[in-house]
Structure 1
């Protein structure tokens, strides 16, 4: 009896056939680009000449000769370690709070909290108006009316304020896919577990949360963590729309905007691929650390 991979392939051939369209697109548009990025990162490639192998030169240049990349790396790490955990915790907290509402109220609340993630791109003009550099900007006008400031502040131009504002706006848009996953996950928990918990001595909602809710939502918690990591490390649009491209003294530069600069403007695809590889490794490493932390706390 053939029990190897060929036997399994024949036994489940219908399942593999159904998966084939997805697998083809996944390989072509996910796996292959990642592999090519690794390959091109060791080359000089300007999209006109054939790629030319240059070894580790791009990596040496990246960390030792590119001051803007170091700025982008610091900004990306700040985004990741501020917006990531806060957004993750906030997504779960809001989902948990609205979970016991009636179905209609829960649906309405879900839409209300999810709207910023949907319409985020369309309300950038509103944010630019709020943080406008003249006296007609809402924030400047409000602070001047209270007498806190006497002259308008260039919020989106002054490098002291740019990154703080970008982080605040990103947090406002943070209830995304992970929030929906948590809402769905909370609805799938067997209600009899809570009844059994009461019999076993659980006395309040927080014990219920720790001993029943969180262990019952491991797949959703892991999925939410992965999505938050990807989102927090790939910040670019909010920086481009509010701070400009490039921002003042690169105060709002992130790794993705730096990749876009070299990849879509300068056409230095080899160097851009090097940055993409570094970003990919950072995401994978952070994901492993987060999964270990979840496992350590019993999730």
Structure 2
């Protein structure tokens, strides 16, 4: 009678760690070969990575650690655990106002400015080169203008000489000047309006560059496959071909939407009346550069970082579905 072979489970269990060790060693050897093969490129990239790590990655990690400490810039940091976060959400009413204003501001300006950047880029993309360059400059100029706050201050001036008050009083809509920049009812709306006016910036230029680089033969192939109008071209060809630019533009617009502070400070004051235009970043500036409570400021920065990172991840998932 032939003996029946039965595998020894103990023997297989002993071989598994050995095989995993060999795979890890082979993988590390492969990475080392890649490093040796691309050593010249890595040497050229090294200064950028050193600067990026020193001034971006390292400060983020330090801020995360400091958010669990009490640090006033005069004494050594003292570990206090989750106390800063408990204070932030349970005791700091101004932060809750700033959080609400920031989320509302980002929910309105983020999607609208993103779509506006792409719409205007798509609209002028088919124009002659000289006209396209001129319109690009005209639309991009507000985002780099240095007198932005002067223009909007004149427009919403609180006396009868302000353009908005003068127009409304002339046509009988109001009887006396409105305190546009001091009235909490209007401040956040004005902040949103100014941000939308400034929104055609870097993302707008990225979209124009992306549209110019779309392979024209894709449209010919699409016409053969049954695409009949520009909307179908946009959804099935243009947008999928521009995914890198779309992602870059999304990151830029999300950052601008959540990091608003300068407009609020120069146009509406710091702090604004009843904190009506207070944002997370202005709250961060308050505790970080005025009160020097760096541990608490680091907790505010960490919360903002988590919000922005989560929004970016959600946006990435949505953009992957473009063209499906």
TM-score by length of 2: 0.90
RMSD (Å), alpha carbons: 1.2
In the alignment, does 2:291 pair up with 1:266? yes
Superposed CA deviations along residues 104-152 of structure 1, whole A, max 9, x for unmatched, are: 1111111111111111x42211111111111111101110111100011
- Of residues 129, 143, 154, the one that matches 1:129 is 154
Equivalent position of 1:213 in the other structure:
238
Match of 2:54 in 1: 28
Structure 2 distance, partners of 1:218, 1:203, is 22
Structure 1 residues 99, 196: closer, same or farther in 2, change over 3 A? same
1:173 matched to which residue of 2?
Answer: 198
Q: 1:49 aligns with which of 57, 75, 92?
A: 75
Q: 2-side partners of 1:271 and 1:4: how far apart? A: 45
Partner of 2:307: 282
Query: Across the two proteins, how many residue pairs are aligned to each other?
Result: 298
Deviations 1:188-230 (A, max 9, x none): 1111111122222211111111111111111111111111111
Q: Which has the larger radius of gyration?
A: 2
Deviation per CA, 1:1-50: give whole Å up to 9, x if none. 97343322222111111111111110111000100000000000010111
Q: Please list the CA deviations of residues 256-276 of structure 1 after superposition, one character each: whole Å capped at 9, or x if unmatched.
A: 000000000000000000000
SS at match of 2:176: coil
Q: Distance in 1 between matches of 2:154 and 2:129?
A: 37
Partner residue in 1 for 2:21: none
Alignment partners' CA distance in 2, 1:91 and 1:68: 33
Alignment partner of 2:269 out of 229, 244, 249: 244
- Separation in 2, partners of 1:228, 1:211: 24
Q: 2: CA distance between counterparts of 1:229 and 1:4?
A: 38
Structure 1 residues 83-94: aligned runs within 5 Å? 83-94=109-120
Q: Distance in 2 between matches of 1:4 and 1:38?
A: 34
Unpaired segments of 5 or more residues in structure 1? none
